[in-house]
Amino acid sequence: MKLIFSVLATLLIIGCQQKQNPSTAAPSPQAPSPPSINIDISTPDRALKSYWLAKDFYRKGEFDWYAAQASEILKLKSRIGFDAHKLMSSDVLLAHKDDNQSKKIQFDKYTRDITDIKQDTESRATAMVTIKNSTPIPEGVVFSESDKKRRTEGEKMKYILEKESDGWKVAQVYQYSEVNIFLKKEPWEKVFSAPSERQSANIYVNQFEN
């Protein structure tokens, strides 16, 4: 993340230099119009599918932006002439290897199956869903038996939809946790929580900041 900010700062500096030299400034490219998303919230199941459609649309846009930044970061590292071999051991280098990260990243794809949906009241519905990660597994990736099981069986999700004046909307999402069963806790965990219920600041050390 720090590297991304550094790239953005560099681009800002270049922009300021171009403003000081109008003759060398290139015209700003015209941003393409975003494609429209067909939203249908007339029924609970259609509203849920529209929610996924919009979610994937914005995820793809975010992915494309970060993928472009990853390429710029690699160029920045090259210009700086950073020689990691002078600072890190071979083991640490292996753990932090990212020289060709921009070529490895891929957009995560999911398959979502509505296994059951029922309208509890006139204004409330519950949908039970199984979500599987269908992204192709990169060559050489090794994962545990539990990971294989999760990928094969998928994750159990529960969606609560509520009807408002203009149609049905997702009101809450729950994810089933087998760990909570062993801990004797509520197995369904909220995906969305109110600001007062979640951490208001990052108090932990990010592993990638080490």
d(CA 102, CA 73): 9
Task: Answer yes or no: is 56 within a domain.
Answer: yes
Q: How many domains does the chain have?
A: 1
| C-beta of residue 177 within 8 angstroms of C-beta of residue 189 | yes
d(CA 10, CA 100): 21
| Residue 107 structural domain | 2-13+40-137+144-192
- pLDDT in the model for residue 109: 92
d(CA 184, CA 174): 17
- pLDDT in the model for residue 187: 94
Ranges in the chain, pLDDT < 50: 1-26, 28-29, 31, 99-103, 206-210
End-to-end distance of the chain based on CA atoms, in angstroms?
13
- pLDDT in the model for residue 159: 97
Task: Answer yes or no: is 154 within a domain.
Answer: yes
- pLDDT in the model for residue 10: 46
pTM for this model (two decimals): 0.66
Task: Answer yes or no: is 81 within a domain.
Answer: yes
Task: Answer yes or no: is 30 within a domain.
Answer: no
